[in-house]
Amino acid sequence: MKKRVISMVMALCLAVSLLPGALAAGTYPFGDVPASHWAREEIQYVYDAGLMDGMENDQFLPEGTITRAMIVTILYRMAGEPAVTGSSGFQDVAKGTWYAQPVTWASANGIVKGYDGNLFKPNEAISREQMATFLYRYAQFQGYNTSDEGNLSGYTDVWTISDYAFQAMSWANAEGIITGMTSTTLVPKGTATRAQAAVIFYRFCETVVPEGGVTIPMMIRNLENSKLPKKDTLTAMAQVMLDDGFEPAFVAGALGNIQEEGACGIFESSAYIANPEMEPDYLRYMDEHYDYRNLYSGQYIYDGFSVASVYDMICELGPGGANGRGSCFGLGCMQWTSYNRIKNLVENYLEVAGSSAAITKEQVQKAEGMTISEEFRGSYKKVYTNWKSENPDLYTTDAAFAAGVKICTSYGIPVGYDTPEVQGKRGNNAVNIYNVMMGEA
């Protein structure tokens, strides 16, 4: 259960660390949170885990207020910091401020709605009913269960809850996330402190997030700290797919297949010297017309190649490819070969490389993750939707194993994909990776 607390509260420390004077994690330094403090256990725990820092002068400031911008930033971090375009629409949220992207994201997804006059009031202390509302909308956005309703009739100040916040407060109370300040008062208009916010997110993790509900930053950190083969590639691709909203078990299934495939950025080898008759016709064409074996075969695109030149070569081949049937040459960890797929891959290379003529290994890993994610949301969407419909609980090792097998047989389709050995290997890879992501390995 502690693991789940880490994952949710991590976002809180990230938001707070944006403030000047934040202390780094280390030996517990907070003289203003004695052992008798009502939230000492939670504060010590998140600090020991390196998740929530102090403010300044060895102080945690447990009674310091949490602002609206801070809470939105927490939620944005919990969602994996998805890409943001445009502006928030609030005239008091200036571009370039540390909270501009979180507020823009939250507004676009209906988590925040602001005040009259197109104001968000980012530096205003958040009230308890506002925090309940933000959490409620975030839970709905993530597809969590928000059906519970509490009986608030025992609170004498229930009538002071704003209309917009009543359902959220009822839900938060039923879940035990936001309880009364006393046995008879909710104090919905009261502000929340740093200590209260930590405890509220603790409770949110305990009761609302699905079993194993580790946030994206925690999953990424677990992969980074693992001893998995190809962990750098797996980490980069997991970041993209998780940010795009795929369930961790499905992501693990994709990564379990990638573990068995080629390296990122590698050109398909045409060195069929011992068995030249086995060389595919499209590679023979590439050897003859583009000196492919000498210039590209078995090399990595991030080793000094011009991505634009590779893209021009693909476009020159055209939809018919190198064999008239659409095959060009294999490239990348999944050895994308067909014209449309390899063209899309290299377009993603170009996007992440920006104005640079060359591309780095890290950029290649990200671009290939983008390509896989796009295909599972587009041309290979049925692989994903069928997996979801076939697995009633998407947060289990069984779901991860099933994703590994489904992707093996319907997406990657390696040699021997129809054998129990190949399917089992990739399914077991997925289970192992899923356990690592969830902090269980």
Is residue 332 over pLDDT 50? yes
Host domain of residue 404: 216-262+378-437
| Average pLDDT over every residue of 270-275 | 85
How many helices (H) does the chain have, and how many strands (E)?
A: 18, 2
Q: How far apart are CA 66 and CA 194, in angstroms?
A: 6
Q: Please give the DSSP secondary-structure letter assigned to residue 163.
A: G
> Would you say residue 112 lies in a domain?
yes
Same domain, 255 and 172: no
**pLDDT at residue number 277:** 87
Is residue 311 over pLDDT 90? yes
> Would you say residue 345 lies in a domain?
yes
Residue pLDDT, tens place only, 144-200: 899 999 999 999 999 999 999 999 999 999 999 999 999 999 999 999 888 888 788
User: Is residue 355 classed exposed, middle or buried when 0-12, 13-18 and 19+ CB atoms within 10 A define those classes?
Assistant: exposed
Sign of CA dihedral 438, 439, 440, 441: positive
**pLDDT at residue number 245:** 86
Q: Which helix (H) or strand (E) holds 104?
A: helix 100-108
> Would you say residue 178 lies in a domain?
yes
Please name the residues in contact with 359: beta carbons below 8 A apart, sequence gap of 6 or more.
Answer: 265, 301, 302, 305, 307, 349, 352, 353, 367
Same domain, 254 and 292: no
> Would you say residue 155 lies in a domain?
yes
**pLDDT at residue number 22:** 47
Is residue 18 over pLDDT 50? no
Specify the amino acid at residue 168.
A
CA distances from 181 to 150, 156, 195, 246, 279 (A): 16, 12, 14, 38, 74
**pLDDT at residue number 48:** 53
Same domain, 334 and 426: no
| Average pLDDT over every residue of 243-264 | 94
Q: Which helix (H) or strand (E) holds 179?
A: none
**pLDDT at residue number 45:** 56
Specify the amino acid at residue 423.
Q
| Average pLDDT over every residue of 137-142 | 93
**pLDDT at residue number 213:** 52
Q: How far apart are CA 234 and CA 225, in angstroms?
A: 12
Quickly state the pLDDT bin for 142 (edges 50, 70, 90).
Answer: confident
Q: Which residue has the higher pLDDT, 358 or 211?
A: 358
Same domain, 121 and 35: yes
Same domain, 414 and 337: no
Residue recorded with tokens 């590439």 = 286
Residue recorded with tokens 């590698």 = 266
Other beta carbons within 10 Å of 31 = 11
Domain boundary among the residues 164, 182, 207 is at: 207
> Would you say residue 271 lies in a domain?
no
Q: Do 223 and 235 contact (CB within 8 A), yes or no?
A: yes
Q: How far apart are CA 75 and CA 90, in angstroms?
A: 18
Q: Which of 44-48, 188-192, 207-211, 266-270 has the lowest mean pLDDT?
A: 44-48
Percentage of the residues of the chain whose pLDDT score is greater than 70? 90
**pLDDT at residue number 435:** 95
Q: Do 239 and 32 contact (CB within 8 A), yes or no?
A: no
In the beta sheet, which residues pair with residue 59? Answer: 56
Q: Do 219 and 238 contact (CB within 8 A), yes or no?
A: yes
| Average pLDDT over every residue of 280-285 | 95
Q: Which residue has the higher pLDDT, 362 or 6?
A: 362
Question: DSSP readout, 341-372?
Answer: HHHHHHHHHHHHHTT-SS--HHHHHHHHHHHH
Same domain, 388 and 291: no
Same domain, 107 and 46: yes
Both tokens of 381, joined, read 């969407």
Both tokens of 427, joined, read 């399914």
Other beta carbons within 10 Å of 261 = 17
> Would you say residue 342 lies in a domain?
yes
**pLDDT at residue number 74:** 81
Report the domain count for the chain: 3
Same domain, 149 and 63: yes
Quickly state the pLDDT bin for 216 (edges 50, 70, 90).
Answer: confident
Is residue 11 over pLDDT 60? no
CA distances from 182 to 187, 202, 350 (A): 9, 20, 59
Is residue 16 over pLDDT 60? no
**pLDDT at residue number 50:** 45
Same domain, 142 and 201: yes
Same domain, 28 and 138: yes
**pLDDT at residue number 42:** 72
Reference 74, options 18, 117, 21, 152; nearest CA is 18
**pLDDT at residue number 300:** 97
> Would you say residue 56 lies in a domain?
yes
Is residue 407 over pLDDT 80? yes
- Could you tell me the end-to-end alpha-carbon distance of the chain, in angstroms, rounded to an integer? 15
Q: How far apart are CA 244 and CA 83, in angstroms?
A: 9
Q: Which residues of 156-169 are buried (b: 16+ CB within 10 A; e: fewer)?
A: ebbeebeeebbebb
Same domain, 190 and 310: no
**pLDDT at residue number 240:** 94
Percentage of the residues of the chain whose pLDDT score is greater than 90? 66
Q: How far apart are CA 249 and CA 220, in angstroms?
A: 14
The pLDDT mean for the chain works out to: 88
Specify the amino acid at residue 155.
Y
Same domain, 390 and 312: no
Q: Please give the DSSP secondary-structure letter assigned to residue 331.
A: E
Residue pLDDT, tens place only, 42-99: 777 556 544 466 667 788 888 988 899 988 988 887 787 888 989 999 999 999 999 9
In the beta sheet, which residues pair with residue 127? Answer: 191
**pLDDT at residue number 21:** 43
**pLDDT at residue number 40:** 84
> Would you say residue 270 lies in a domain?
no
| Average pLDDT over every residue of 131-145 | 94
